[in-house]
Structures are given as structure tokens and as C-alpha cells.
Chain A
Amino acid sequence: MSSNYFKTYPDEKGYFGEYGGSYIPEELNAEMQKINDAYYSISKSHEFISELRSIRKHFQGRPTPVYYCNRLSNKYGGRIYLKREDLNHSGAHKLNHCMGEALLAKYMGKKKLIAETGAGQHGVALATAAAYFGLECEIHMGEVDIAKEHPNVMRMKILGATVIPVTHGLKTLKEAVDSAFQSYLKDPVNTIYCIGSVVGPHPFPMMVREFQRVVGIEARDQFQEMTGELPDNVVACVGGGSNAMGIFSAFLEDKECKLHGVEPAGRSFDKGEHAATLTFGKPGIIHGFKCYLLQDEEGQPDPVYSVASGLDYPGVGPEHSMLKDWNKVEYHSVSDKECIDAFYELSRSEGIIPALESSHAVAYALKLAQANPRQSILLNLSGRGDKDLDFVVEKYGLPEKVH
């Protein structure tokens, strides 16, 4: 892999190998071009970079720490480290790209930010960014997720965002993306669609990755400072794949680091019961980009499910699709049950309550640690679990003792 990786992927048309691109109706073409041009001209300017740096430090509280899990490592073997994105302001890594996107929107003179959200983390982060910059904010969210992620819905509303319930289809993340696109198309000149992950048409997968790279850049330095070496394994959960791209991006050229993406295996591997896109998907086009896609013979996206609302999406970032084909990242899956066990395990062993999305990464890391007791694992703890407390306790109960 050459050091020009980030300039080579995506190419000028937004392709990561055969994935990505811009499969959008003509109505969006001019606006996407404008966003792309603005990204290249504005985001590389000294002014933009220093403003974003200042925001990262003083508003978001970056750098977030890397933390060594002493009790967990003793119990499972291996040496487990967490990159604490749960301590990023608003409780997840999502604010990293939201502040970047909102700052770009401000420079472009946009009045309103529009986005979809699954678990509500991206919605809360965008509502936070909108409040910071004094912009309007409209968040589209499936009714099913609204019921499940009540605390995040309240947070968005408190932050001044309008939450639009999405009532068609499965009423989850995919439908929320449809709805947000529709709303954006009504007024693409005054609004900007701040997509919530490394997905969507070019330039979003690139932009979101670039704004998330801060996670990997910090973590690599911190890990080396703590241990004097690079991690043997880097683990992150993958829905659309933004937190995973954030941390993987700093280790793509290190042959000695194994990268592991963890997808939701849900209740089973039957159709509609999981969202393990990179494990079971085939190349296809959804929401304006080409990627691995869970779809039927006719090219209709499959229904998907995960206990973690932020992971149940039938597509996945185009860069992950390429990295899978290259065998640069290994993609695995973890079931709902393993996720819930890991949720309690990290809470009770370390005093850190992880988001259900991040709990998938924790579950896989524990298996990895048991299998490789002499290796180190750097895990991106992408978000905190406050939003999931009621749901988990109501549905799974409070275990007296884990395992």
C-alpha cells in the first residue's frame, strides 16, 4: 500500500476500486459537485483547519484517551485497549464528522442541516453541531428507532432540532435515509445533507472518512506512547462504517496490524434477521453509491435487523467494500446475544457502559483476546450506552452475574 493511499482512494469520480461513485438523479448532480468543490477548496484552507482544530480541542474535548482494560485483560487474556470515543462530546465518534460537515455548511452559506439517524447518535451529534453554529437542523428517524432510542430523541429536541418520524417500510435506518434524501431534494440550495456515515454518493464517503481520521491519528500515537509498539489487532464495529474507517485509516499501511470489522449477526443468519452486509452481501447500488449490499435476486434491498439501531443498514461504506476485496480488513459478525453479554461485561468489569453498536466490537475483541492471549487489541469504543439503558434492561433484564 502506498503512502498516497488517501489521495488515490477515492479517485476523482469518487470510486474506491469498483465501489462508491455517484449514482444520483440529475437533480442532485450540480449540488454534489458544489459540495465536492467546496470540500476541496475550503477544508484545506488554513482558516478552516485552525477553526476545526480549536473546536476539536475546546468544544469536543479531544484528544479522547486510550485506556487499558486491566480487569478485562486479566480475565480474558490479551491486552485490551479502548479508544474512548464514548468520551467525545455528545457521547460518540459521530460529532467528529458532524462538526466538520457543519463547518463546511457554514462556509458554504447553507441555512439548514438535514440528516438521517439510526440509533440517534448521528442525529444528536448533528443537532449539537447545528446549535454550535446557529443553523437549523432536521433529523429523519424511523418510528421503530424513535420508540427504542427515546433519550436521544429528547436530546435532539432539547438541542433545537426538528425530528421527523419516518413511517414507511421497516421504519428504521434505510427508510430514514430515503426520507432525508427526499427532504434535501426539495431545497438543495439552502440545505445540506449531512450524511451520517461513510456512505452515500461522492464526496460523502471521502469527506466523512477524512473528518473521522482524527480518531486513528490520535489512537496510533497514544498507543505507541503507552506501549512503545503498534497494536497487533484493531477492532471496530461496522454499520455504515464511519468509526471503523476513522480508526483503521491510521493502520492501513502497517502490515503487522490486523484490522477487524464487526458486523451485526442479529438473531440469526436468515434473511431479515441480521445486517452482516460484508459477509452475505453482493455488489449493488443503494442511496447513490455502489457497495456490498444485502439484496434479493431482483436487486431489491433486503430487510435488515440488529439489536443496535446504528448498525441495521443493508449497505456499507464503499471503502470497506474495497478493503474487504483486498483482504486488508477481516469482517466478522457478532450476534445480539453476544452483544448484550459484552455490554454487561464491559460495564461490570471496567465501569464503562458501551453503546450497543460498540458492544459488537467488544464481543469480538473478547473472543480475539481468548484466542490470542499474547496479543494486544486496540478497540474503538465508538459510543456510550446511556441511550440503550432502558431498552436493554426492559428487553434482556439485569443479570445478577455475567457468565
Chain B
Amino acid sequence: MNRIDQLFQNKQKDILSIYFPAGYPKLEDTLPTLQLLQAKGVDLVEIGIPFSDPLADGPVIQSAAKQALDNGMSLQLLFDQLKDARKTIKIPLILMGYWNTVYKFGVDAFLTECQNVGIDGVILPDLPLEEYQEEYKVKFEAAGVHNVLLVTPQTTDKRLAIIEKAASGFLYMVSTAATTGGALQASKEREAYFKKIAALDIPSLIGFGIHDKASFQHAASFSNGAIIGTAFIKALEKGNTSEFLESLQ
């Protein structure tokens, strides 16, 4: 069974997902960071495939991605780094990246590598939904790799129905219409949106703007859990990742 499905079967509340870019801050940090996250009780990890022009990401993730690229990070190298990861890493792993990287790598080759190293899902924010459904959905399903889809406060009900049908694993609920790394502010409209998505049949995690225990708990109260990216990258930068992860407990 896919580890993401297993996770949501065993745990419905307060799921903590952490995002970090592969090969950051040092090229060889990918696996040690995964081990730390697992040891600190993180439920799910999203590993970023660095791309030079990440449209959906704010300045912190952008500059981390740039540093990773400067370190020499690449998609092939990431698969090499993850070759033996499953000997120690048991939590579900997701790759998050931009479509050109995967398109250029070759979708079939990409899915084969995902299967080989034990990747449970992908997030590809700029892969058009229609193109995914028409050309790639069958392949992703055959490989047992979930394509996690995003919903935002601007997503219309009509489109939400299409997304719900196409989604697998869970929905990535974008908290706000902005890039990653902003602040999350409470509002009636936002809560109504959170509740609407939470009422769907598929589990959901809230991302964008979650940076500490309070914002995590607030977001998690409307969904199955939440995703932290920018705040963790800042901790990687400062070298206080253990303290940061402990502060979330």
C-alpha cells in the first residue's frame, strides 16, 4: 500500500509535513535531513527538486533552490542520493518540482526512478490538470505514485469538482493567494474555504504561511494537518533544525 494512504488511514489529525529542497544547504544534506525529520516525528516529507524559475515560490525557497543548483543538485543526483534511503526512511516521501525538470527527464524514466527509490507522491504545481488527466494519469497510477493537486481560495466550485475527481493521496490546500513564505492571517472567508475543502472525501493538508506551533495548530484544526516549508528552510540556514522541530511538538 502507498505510504501516503497508510499515513492517512492511521492518522487523521495533526499530520505534520515538512518541505525542504534537495541538496541544501550542502549537496550531501538530503539524506541526513530526511533522517532528522523522521527521528523528530515528522509524518510526511516533501523534497524539492531545485528549479531556477519557481513561479509558485517566494524568495526564501527561490534562493535555497538557487544555492542547491549552485551546489550541483539535479534530479538524477537526487535519485542517486535516495537510492538506499528506504533502508532507514519509513515515512512517506513526496517529490515537489516544476514540470520542465520532469518533462526533460522523461515521464516514464521519472516514474521508474520514483518506484525504484520508493517515492509515494509528487507535487507538480505547473503541470496543467487537463494535460495530466489526458496524458499521464494512467502512468502515474500504474507506478503507484500519487499526483497531489493544489486548491486555492480562488479555485471555483466547478474546478474544485474536477480537481476532487482527479486527485489522489491528499489535497494540498493553499492557504492564501500568494507565493510560499508569507504570513497566514485569519479571516471568516478563509475559514469557510478551509471547511469547504475539509468536507471533501479526500484528506487535505494546509500549506503556505505555516511557520510555528500556533499557525500549525490553527491550520491543523481545519484539516488533517499542515505543511511547513519556508520556516524550516530558515532553520536549515541557521543550523537550528532540531530546536525548530521540537518547538512544533
Point out residues on A near B: beta carbons under 8 Å: 13, 21-31, 168-169, 174, 177-178, 181-182, 185-189, 284-288, 293, 295, 297-301
Contacts and interface: CB of A to CB of B under 8 A. Distances in A.
Given A25-B150, A26-B174, A299-B105, A285 B100 contact: yes
Contacts of B99: 23, 285
15 contacts: A13-B128, A24-B128, A25-B55, A26-B150, A27-B178, A174-B53, A185-B179, A284-B103, A284-B104, A287-B53, A287-B55, A295-B104, A297-B104, A300-B52, A301-B52
Pick the most buried of A25, A286, A293: most chain B CB atoms within 10 A of its CB.
A25
Contact of A186 (B130, B149, B159, B178): B178
A168 B63 contact: yes
A168 B156 CA distance: 34
A286 B116 CA distance: 29
B237 to A, nearest CB: 16
Interface stretch (B6-14, B20-28, B69-77, B81-89): B69-77
B58 interface: yes
A182 B155 CA distance: 19
B101 A23 contact: no
A182 B151 CA distance: 18
A182 B100 contact: no
Contact of B51 (A25, A28, A189, A300): A300
B189 interface: no
A299 B177 contact: no
Nearest to B97: A299
A355 B33 CA distance: 51
Interface string B37-55: 0000000000000011101
Nearest to B75: A298
A185 B66 CA distance: 20
Given A23-B127, A27-B174, A182-B179, A295 B100 contact: yes
A21 B100 CA distance: 13
B156 A30 contact: yes
B152 interface: yes
Interface in B136-174: 149-152, 154-156, 159, 174
Closest 4 CB pairs of A and B: A299-B104, A25-B56, A30-B154, A26-B150
Nearest to A182: B179
A301 B65 CA distance: 14
B126 A23 contact: yes
B126 A25 contact: yes
Interface of B: 51-53, 55-56, 58-59, 62-63, 66, 69, 74-76, 98-105, 125-128, 130-131, 149-152, 154-156, 159, 174, 177-179, 182
Given A25-B56, A168-B66, A284 B154 contact: no
A31 B178 CA distance: 13
Contacts of B100: 284-286, 293, 295, 299
Contacts of A21: 128, 131
A236 B101 CA distance: 32
A188 B154 contact: yes
B19 to A, nearest CB: 15
A168 B104 CA distance: 24
Contacts of A168: 62-63, 66
Contacts of B75: 298-299
Contact of A27 (B51, B76, B103, B177): B177
A169 B69 CA distance: 12
B52 A31 contact: no
Nearest to A302: B52
A112 B125 CA distance: 26
A27 B128 contact: no
A211 B130 CA distance: 28
A31 B218 CA distance: 28
A25 B176 CA distance: 13
Nearest to B98: A285
B15 to A, nearest CB: 21
Contacts of B62: 168, 178
B66 A25 contact: no
A25 to B, nearest CB: 4
A373 B52 CA distance: 46
Contact of B66 (A169, A285, A293, A298): A169
Given A21-B131, A25-B125, A26-B150, A298 B63 contact: no
Given A26-B174, A185-B179, A297-B104, A31 B154 contact: yes
A193 to B, nearest CB: 11
Given A178-B53, A181-B55, A185-B178, A27 B126 contact: no
A138 B104 CA distance: 34
B69 A26 contact: no
B126 A285 contact: yes
Contacts of A300: 51-52, 69, 101
Pick the most buried of B52, B102, B155: most chain A CB atoms within 10 A of its CB.
B52
Pick the most buried of B53, B59, B174: most chain A CB atoms within 10 A of its CB.
B53
Given A26-B174, A27-B177, A299 B101 contact: yes
A182 B131 contact: no
A26 B155 contact: yes
A31 B69 CA distance: 31
A26 B149 contact: yes
Given A27-B150, A299-B103, 16 more contacts: A21-B131, A25-B55, A25-B56, A26-B151, A27-B177, A30-B155, A30-B156, A168-B63, A177-B53, A285-B126, A298-B74, A298-B75, A298-B76, A298-B105, A299-B105, A300-B51
